[in-house]
Amino acid sequence: MGFLMDPYAVFLVRWLHIISGVMWIGILWYFNFVQMPSMPKIPDEQKPAISKVIAPEALFWFRWAALATIVFGLLQAWQLGWIAQALMLGLEGSGAKMMMIGIGMWFGLIMAFNVWFIIWPNQQRALGLVECAAEDKPKSARTAMLFSRTNTMLSIPMSYAMVAGPHLM
């Protein structure tokens, strides 16, 4: 445990949390602000390149960056002694700082749950990476899209809370 509490280890975990978070949210925003709006403009004969090559690769990095962000964030909160107060949203009296960090943590946890248990399984069906009935593909694609958009909207207050929290007294 000694090394994990070393100031450089604390810094390294924070940096890994930020780097994985940038990757996660960057890919999330790419899907929602670039790829999805551009799909209708792509000729049908070129769409298989998206669904067979680009999307599966992007989804790999997307889901693992989500997990890494959560793991490094929880480790960071533990290292700093914030984990319990933040998860309780500062309601036990630790103040606005823990409330903001906690809001960011809870949004991040909800978003990661969405990635692994709703978006990814539905994308696997929609992209044909797993077997499913043909009539289930459009429904799965819509579910994945709606939860991806939900995560995009949650990412805005989540990132605000994560950035603001440490700067509050």
| Spatial distance between the Cα atoms of 55 and 149, rounded to a whole number of angstroms | 16
Q: Are 88 and 102 in contact (CB under 8 A)?
A: yes
Which tokens in the block code for residue 53?
A: 């090559």
Provide the mean pLDDT of the chain. Answer: 95
Q: Are 143 and 122 in contact (CB under 8 A)?
A: yes
pLDDT at 60: 97
* 46 has a pLDDT exceeding 90: yes
pLDDT at 110: 98
Amino acid, single-letter form, for residue 1: M
The predicted-structure confidence for 58-102, as pLDDT tens digits, reads as follows 999 999 999 999 999 999 999 999 999 999 999 988 899 999 999
* 1 has a pLDDT exceeding 70: no
pLDDT at 3: 79
